[in-house]
Amino acid sequence: MTPSGSPLISIEGVSKVYRRDAIEIPVLKDINLALSAGEFIALMGPSGSGKTTLLNLIAGLDQPTRGRIKIGGEDISSMNEGTLATWRSENIGLIFQLYNLIPVLTAFENVELPLFLTDLSKKDRREHAEAALAIVGLADRMDHFPRQLSGGQEQRVAIARAIVTDTLILVADEPTGDLDARSAEDILRLLGRLNTEFDKTIVMVTHDPKAAACARVSVHLDKGVLRESMAMPAVATAPPPAAAAVAPVPAEATGTYGPFSEGFVPRTDAEMDEELRSERRAWAREVAQGFEGLAPNEIVELMKKLESLPQSGPGREPSRERPRPVSAPAIPARRPGDK
């Protein structure tokens, strides 16, 4: 719980350095930032400026080299890996540029998946998933597979998955970067609605000034340094001038476990039991991207849940029976300070 009057997110003297052999690559330098509950902030900057690294630190997907990050009064920068994974599942909703949906699951099943890590009953899981899909305007697309949806619809499913556990904070990494202009506008309106109507605190990385204009506050990063913080006007502003090129962060140094293909997936594979490795290894690797942000043991648990789903697996055809649509969202807006 955040003490009264304290910021929901407090970043104090945070630096991040990646290492490749004997070479140190500084990515963030002495970042200080405080965000109140209910804020909608855009992190902007040129490629290599450190904005996605800062987002990952806020989301608990990575940890700082120096400094402290407190969210809701908890110091997440001192948490061990297991504690951090539990904290992340309870407090952070993740939205990715490329959606990270599991292709062999329907929209409803993709949204329901995080709820398997809770104590909710099957009935309650269905109600939560239906409500989340209704909020994003996809109550009539619940039984569609990702391949049957447009890019904008896929991103709305991903947003429904991010809000289904009613986390207070949503982190979005270029959520409109893979969308056409009209779909991008729809997604930005949806994020604005989640912020104003459902009191979600949103931290969004974007290079697009039109997207940043939808946030309440914008901060600019340049070579890992926080240059400015400003309230956003009602209309889009011109993009900041391009910064000088900086040394790129090595791909293998990103994320909690390293790059997705070389760190996250092998770490997950190592945690899987013999049955999954021998019979479903290819499928497991295909769907693993939908589990980014979870601890390996949680991924194993969800993979076993997938194995138990009726007719689940590659090549499953859409059901002829549509889930019952809902007319109104059932997820109450959670207020700052609620447990």
- CA dist 60 and 159 (Å) reads 18
Q: Among 226, 170, 243, 217, which residue's Cα sits nearest to residue 15?
A: 226
pLDDT of residue 276: 47
Q: Among 201, 202, 253, 243, which residue's Cα sits nearest to residue 220?
A: 243
What are the tokens at 12? 């104090």
How crowded is residue 244: how many other Cβ atoms within 10 Å of its Cβ? 8
pLDDT of residue 207: 87
pLDDT of residue 259: 37
User: Where are the domains positioned within the chain?
Assistant: 9-233, 257-308
Mean pLDDT per 10-residue run, the chain (339 residues)? 75 92 90 94 90 92 93 92 87 89 90 87 92 93 93 94 92 91 93 93 93 92 82 44 36 36 45 47 51 58 60 43 39 49
Indicate the residue type of 205: V
pLDDT of residue 268: 46
User: Is the domain 9-233 a CATH 3.40.50.300 member?
Assistant: yes
The upper half-sphere exposure of residue 227, i.e. CA atoms within 13 Å in the direction of its Cβ, equals: 15
Q: How many residues does the chain have?
A: 339
- 131 neighbors 330 (Cβ within 8 angstroms): yes
What are the tokens at 134? 């209704």
DSSP state letter for 336: T
- CA dist 103 and 87 (Å) reads 27
pTM of the model: 0.71
What are the tokens at 33? 């930032």
